[in-house]
Amino acid sequence: MSRFFWVRHGPTHAQAMVGWTDLPADLSDTAQIARLDAHLPQQAVLVSSDLSRAADTASAIAGQRQRLPHDPALREINFGAWEMQRFTEIEDQALARAYWETPGDTRPPEGESWNDISARVHRAVDRLTAAHPGRDIIVVAHFGVILTQVQRALGISAYETFSHKIDNLSVTEIHKHEGHWTAKTINHNP
């Protein structure tokens, strides 16, 4: 069995859609980071997105864990032309509503659709599973990235997936056993 511990990076405090913009994480709550570190398996391998908010969060909990190179395939959703805009600032409101209300192939201008990010993250997870069979794997990533795996484990629609909350510095534990994905916990705050 492979166990994935998905950790959402520390907060950025941005009030806009942050995808590939490289904003730093606020890691000042050292007590919360210590609780997170203590909750996670010590013998796990650790990987993160290459964006600094995830990479720095991973560094904060690394300890003696085996650290893998940052993986750009674990980046957040590419919001393209919508990057760093508030929802209300998007010019094409019909397209913006369609993106969130009927996720799938709808994409922002110059960005990626839900199906695009899901395929990208699934390939990365499958690669990690094959490279580290039966290991515990901690992945420090982003809201959208983690939701792709929640959807995979629960077998629900993308629309239903968006109803799940994923807090900063929370843990979502997903297992793969005999080819089947299951969610043990979603959005656990240690």
For the segment 55-63, the average pLDDT, to the nearest whole number, is 98
Domain spanning 2-77+116-188: which CATH class is it, in words?
Answer: alpha beta
The phi and psi torsions of 58 (rounded to 5 degrees) equal: -60, -40
pLDDT, tens digit (0-9, with 9 covering 90-100), for 142-188: 999 999 999 999 999 999 999 999 999 999 999 999 999 999 999 99
pLDDT, tens digit (0-9, with 9 covering 90-100), for 14-50: 999 999 999 999 999 999 999 999 999 999 999 999 9
Closest CA to 66 of 147, 130, 128, 146: 128
DSSP string, the chain: -EEEEEEEPPP---SS--SSS-PPP----HHHHHHHHHHS-TT-EEEE-SSHHHHHHHHHH-TTSEEPPP-GGGPPP--GGGTT--GGG-S-HHHHHHHHHS-SS---TTS--HHHHHHHHHHHHHHHHHHSTT-EEEEEE-HHHHHHHHHHHHT--HHHHTTS---TT-EEEEEEETTEEEEEEEEE--
Instruction: Return mean pLDDT, the chain.
Output: 97
* pLDDT for res 89: 95
* pLDDT for res 38: 98
Q: How confident is the model at residue 137 (pLDDT cuts 50, 70, 90)?
A: very high
Cα–Cα distance measured from residue 33 to residue 30, given in angstroms and rounded to the nearest whole number: 5
Q: Where do the domains of the chain lie?
A: 2-77+116-188
Global confidence as pTM: 0.96
